[in-house]
Amino acid sequence: MMSASMPLRAAAARVLAGIAAAVAVLVALAATPATAETDLRARCSAMAAEAIEDVNLLSAVVVERKRGMKPYCRVLGYVRPAINFEIRLPIEGWNGKFYMAGCSGACGRVRADRRGPSNSTRDAQRRGYAVATTDSGHWGQHGGDGVWAYHNRRAEIDWAERAINQTTRTAKELLRRYYGRPQERAYFAGCSNGGRQGLIEAQRFANDFDGIIAGAPWLDLRSVNLFAWLYQKGTNGGGWPILERPKIDLLGRAVTAACDAKDGLEDGIVSDPEGCDFDPAALRCGGTKVNGDCLTDKEIAAVRAIYAGPRNSAGEPLYSGGLPKGSERNWPLFLSTGTTDTFEANVLRYLAFEDDPGGEYDPRAYDMDKDPERIKFMSRIVSADNPDLSAFRDHGGKMILYHGTADALLPYRRTVDYYDAAVAKAGGAGAADRFLRLYLVPGMSHCWGREDVGPVQADFLTALENWVEKGQPPADLTATEERNRGKGRDRSRPLCPYPLAARYDGSGDADAAASFACARR
């Protein structure tokens, strides 16, 4: 016969067992961080022995705290035949996410420690991301080196589309094996060619990323029409620039003086290049204007052609205009002679045509009537101008486009035209706003270049994370400018989603974003 106290003893035993289990869980949880870090350190060297299809892993080593980075497992390898990559897996503080950085120009090197915000993994790694970057399938002496593409279609395809997709595949598989679980989110960010890579991912490999930041994207090979035009109209018979640096500086000051205040504030920034009606003829030599303080008729003609952009002999435009007004300070960086070893020249020599003309090709020989047809073969391989982003949208992807209005390599108007086409394809602004935003950055050069003017630094990644992970679409973002290395007064401005633009309120602190509002252009 069962004693009345037996159920009580059984219940007490169950309670004690529950308490013991809870204590064990708490002890395990308390030990988890240290144990996990120890396990990840021990697991790192073994990653080099992992077998992944079409991948050769070369090394995996623990890198201790370095340059402000927490310890991480550094994995080097390549996707066959030649897509070299570096993958960094945090040993402590992994945020559960993956970040892929693009690469600029022709790529050609694995630059995981690249400084600055463009095509860099540094900021994401500091935030706890597992990160990756690649050389896009070849080695190059510099970012404009195009010799690797000479009669090498496989390398061109790797650079055009395969490198990011396959490095992403490899990185995701490695981090899954390393952490024992897949990433929760995946993000990509790149500028210039990196922006093109981001758009290629959205258009051709829509499931790779949850969020993409594409800055100043090199959208298509129609840009070579502009490159060749600038050589032809900006150089003389000997191939030397018609406009020397002092004349360009003179022009830039005149444009700024004429158009700076059109946004309600004189701050050294031409905020609306398309609304600037400055005519270079205002600087024509004559009367009291002589020597260095004026432009000759030949120089005025060159300036007008540079602003107008490429046309064929029938006067039909071959690109989305020319270089924007307000970008003049950047012209010396990109208006080079037709015989120099520049990125623009090498694209024409080694990448733009089905049959590469080679290193002796002079961009001034480009035929504006015949050659736009000849670049269509390679355009189908490398261009990222397909406005249909429906697969990326249906995957749940979000994209932020940005472009500087003072970009003198890839003018921002081409990105605006692409955005407008993508909006139309998506069914209008209301539908597109659910997954796509464009920010024009006044005064910004090419991908945060050396000649930026004004507040241009903005945290696009946090905005994208909030959109993807919290369902908070980005509105106006705050751009900052650090002046005098922190010793002077810094400036901030709102960056407004296109077609809005920041307008000064007329009375507030001109150095504070709060004194501006986003309004229709």
User: DSSP character for 326?
Assistant: T
Taken as a whole, the chain contains a residue count of: 521
pLDDT attached to residue 451:
86
- Choose the final residue of a domain: 348, 381, 414: 381
Question: Is there a domain that residue 65 lies in?
Answer: yes
**Phi-psi label, residue 55: left if phi above 0, alpha if psi -120 to 50, beta otherwise:** beta
Cα separation of 386 and 193, whole Å?
A: 16
Check: pTM over 0.85? Answer yes or no. Answer: yes
Cα separation of 180 and 182, whole Å?
A: 7
User: DSSP character for 211?
Assistant: E
Sequence-ordered list of residues with C-beta below 8 angstroms from that of 33, at least 6 positions apart, any chain: 92
Q: State whether 236 and 373 are in the same domain.
A: yes
Q: Decide: residue 327, CB within 10 A, 0-12 exposed, 13-18 middle, 19+ buried.
A: buried
Task: Give counts: helices (H), strands (E), the chain.
Answer: 16, 13
Is residue 176 within 8 Å of 184, Cβ to Cβ? no
Question: Is there a domain that residue 452 lies in?
Answer: no
Q: State whether 284 and 366 are in the same domain.
A: yes
pLDDT attached to residue 448:
87
Cα separation of 439 and 42, whole Å?
A: 44
Q: State whether 258 and 355 are in the same domain.
A: yes
pLDDT along the chain (521 residues), means of 10: 46 47 39 68 95 98 86 98 98 97 94 88 96 96 91 98 98 97 98 98 98 98 96 87 93 97 90 95 87 91 97 98 96 72 92 96 95 98 98 98 97 98 98 98 92 94 98 96 69 96 92 93 80
User: DSSP character for 270?
Assistant: -
pLDDT attached to residue 487:
54
Tokens of 413: 């108007």
Q: State whether 175 and 125 are in the same domain.
A: yes
Question: Is there a domain that residue 218 lies in?
Answer: no
Q: State whether 311 and 178 are in the same domain.
A: no
Question: Is there a domain that residue 445 lies in?
Answer: no
Residues spanned by the domain of 113: 31-183
Is residue 405 within 8 Å of 440, Cβ to Cβ? yes
Question: Is there a domain that residue 11 lies in?
Answer: no
pLDDT attached to residue 36:
78
DSSP calls for 134-190: E--SS--SSTT--GGGTT-HHHHHIIIIIHHHHHHHHHHHHHHHHHSS--SEEEEEE
Amino acid identity at 133: T
Cα separation of 275 and 476, whole Å?
A: 22
Question: Is there a domain that residue 326 lies in?
Answer: yes
Cα separation of 102 and 385, whole Å?
A: 17
Q: State whether 240 and 361 are in the same domain.
A: yes
User: DSSP character for 287?
Assistant: T
CB atoms within 10 A of CB 520: 8
- Choose the final residue of a domain: 312, 346, 381: 381
- Residue 310: asked if its preceding bond is cis (omega within 30°), the reply is no
Q: State whether 119 and 251 are in the same domain.
A: no
Number of domains in the chain: 2
Q: State whether 252 and 174 are in the same domain.
A: no
Amino acid identity at 442: P
Tokens of 467: 């959109």
Q: State whether 233 and 97 are in the same domain.
A: no
Is residue 448 within 8 Å of 253, Cβ to Cβ? no
CB atoms within 10 A of CB 282: 13
pLDDT attached to residue 413:
98
Cα separation of 377 and 381, whole Å?
A: 7
Report the alpha-carbon angle 198-204-207, nearest 5. 80
Cα separation of 124 and 121, whole Å?
A: 5
Q: Which residues are catalytic?
A: 192, 407, 446
DSSP alpha helix (H) spans, 211-336: 223-234, 245-259, 297-308, 331-334
pLDDT attached to residue 30:
40
Sequence-ordered list of residues with C-beta below 8 angstroms from that of 390, at least 6 positions apart, any chain: 425, 426
Cα separation of 464 and 450, whole Å?
A: 26
Cα separation of 299 and 293, whole Å?
A: 12
pLDDT attached to residue 338:
53
Q: Decide: residue 247, CB within 10 A, 0-12 exposed, 13-18 middle, 19+ buried.
A: buried
Question: Is there a domain that residue 263 lies in?
Answer: yes
Q: State whether 227 and 376 are in the same domain.
A: yes
Q: State whether 110 and 243 are in the same domain.
A: no
Q: State whether 227 and 169 are in the same domain.
A: no
The tokens 């633009």 sit on which residue?
501
Cα separation of 347 and 356, whole Å?
A: 10
Tokens of 448: 């945060």
- Choose the final residue of a domain: 183, 209, 244: 183
pLDDT attached to residue 80:
98
Question: Is there a domain that residue 136 lies in?
Answer: yes
